[in-house]
């Protein structure tokens, strides 16, 4: 069962959720989805959410926690590295996740990519849920954020595919020209992928090649989540069940 997995992880010396074992059955199931920009993270999350339609699922995007730029940074936005771990307000992300895990509703800031502005109002009101999906390029970078996750997925899409999608997306949706997109890619996006994003792939439980096109991977993940949620429900009815399960296994 879910609790047994935690014991097995502990034996194997792997990273632990920060929650105590006694609390686990009360808490939402947290899934982290990382991967390069335009790898298909959002597509994978949408498919998981669609297939879990009968569950309460919320999606939290790391993009919502971009720091606001100073006036000076705004005048030279082409020199700003949006792919560096320090571009994000991780303390705020941790505070939001903490509230959601404790069953409280939260306001999640909106981000405007065109205006490079965070905290655009109105904020998104998010209610507590059974499953929380946390999505973003650097969601596995901070060990405190990793520790919140019960399942970690890395979307692994070739760099040329990511660049091609990025050009299409940023020219169409963010009103940027191709030269700007290519400059940003070679100056910041590619080096940050190599230095900060790719090294976090080792923390993933599951690596999905090709992103949203990989229906088999998505089906397996959804099946696994359903199994875990089923055990969650059993644990709610029989809070001591995990003791029996662990005794059998030891």
The residues of the shown chain that bind ligand C5P, judged by CB under 6 A, are 37-38, 41, 63, 66, 82-83, 113, 116, 137, 189
Do residues 151 and 229 touch, judged by C-beta distance below 8 A? no
> Among residues 1, 28, 32, 40, which is the contact residue for ligand ADP, using CB under 6 A?
40
The secondary structure of residue 129, as a DSSP letter, is -
- Interaction residues for ligand ADP, span 167-206 (CB under 6 A): 169
The only residue of 42, 51, 55, 92 in contact with ligand ADP, by rule CB under 6 A = 42
- Residue 217 token pair: 């991977």
Number of residues written out for the chain: 250
Q: Quote the least distance from Cβ 206 to ligand C5P, whole Å.
A: 18
Task: Give the CB-side neighbour count of residue 188, counting CA atoms within 13 A.
Answer: 15
Supply the minimum distance, in Å, between the C-beta of residue 42 and ligand ADP. Answer: 3
Report in angstroms how near the CB of residue 68 gets to ligand C5P at its nearest.
10
65 closest CA partner among 109, 34, 127, 101:
109
Asked if 38 touches ligand ADP (CB under 6 A), the answer is yes
In angstroms, rounded to a whole number, what is the distance separating the alpha carbons of residues 222 and 224?
A: 5
Q: How far is the CB of 103 from ligand ADP (least distance, A)?
A: 28
| Per-residue binder mask for ligand ADP (CB under 6 A), 140-169, x = binder | -------------------------x---x
Residue nearest to ligand C5P (CB): 37
Distance CA 204, CA 35 (A): 10
Binds ligand ADP by CB under 6 A, chosen from 5, 8, 73, 213: 213
The H-or-E segment that residue 125 falls in is strand 117-126
Separation of alpha carbons 182 and 192, rounded Å: 14
- Name which of ligand C5P, ligand ADP, none residue 139 binds, using a CB cut-off of 5 to 8 Å depending on partner kind: none
Minimum gap (Å) between residue 233 Cβ and ligand C5P: 33
Distance of alpha carbon 4 from alpha carbon 6, whole angstroms: 5
Min dist. Cβ of residue 126 to ligand ADP (A): 18
Structure tokens at 200: 């976090």
Measured CA angle at 132 (ends 124, 151), to 5 deg: 150
User: Which residues make up the interface to ligand ADP (CB under 6 A)?
Assistant: 35, 37-43, 165, 169, 211-213
């Amino acid at each position: 069962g879910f609790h047994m997995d935690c014991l097995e992880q502990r034996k194997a010396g792997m990273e632990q959720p920060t929650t105590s074992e006694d609390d686990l059955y009360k808490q939402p199931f947290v899934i982290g989805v990382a991967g390069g920009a335009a790898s298909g993270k959002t597509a994978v999350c949408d498919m998981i959410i669609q297939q879990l339609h009968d569950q309460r699922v919320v999606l939290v995007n790391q993009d919502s926690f971009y720091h606001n730029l100073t006036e000076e940074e705004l005048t030279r936005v082409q020199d700003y590295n949006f792919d560096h771990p320090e571009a994000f307000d991780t303390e705020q992300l941790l505070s939001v996740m903490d509230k959601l895990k404790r069953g409280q509703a939260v306001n999640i800031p909106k981000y405007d990519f065109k205006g490079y502005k965070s905290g655009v109002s109105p904020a998104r009101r998010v209610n507590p849920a059974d499953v929380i999906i946390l999505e973003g390029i650097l969601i596995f970078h901070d060990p405190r954020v990793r520790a919140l996750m019960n399942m970690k997925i890395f979307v692994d899409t070739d760099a040329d595919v990511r660049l091609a999608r990025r050009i299409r997306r940023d020219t169409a949706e963010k009103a940027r020209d191709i030269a700007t997109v290519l400059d940003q890619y070679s100056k910041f996006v590619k080096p940050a992928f190599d230095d900060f994003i790719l090294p976090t792939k080792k923390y993933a439980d599951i690596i999905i090649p090709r992103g949203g096109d990989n229906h088999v991977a998505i089906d397996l993940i959804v099946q696994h989540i359903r199994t875990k949620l089923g055990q969650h429900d059993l644990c709610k009815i029989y809070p001591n069940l995990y003791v029996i399960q662990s005794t059998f296994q030891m």
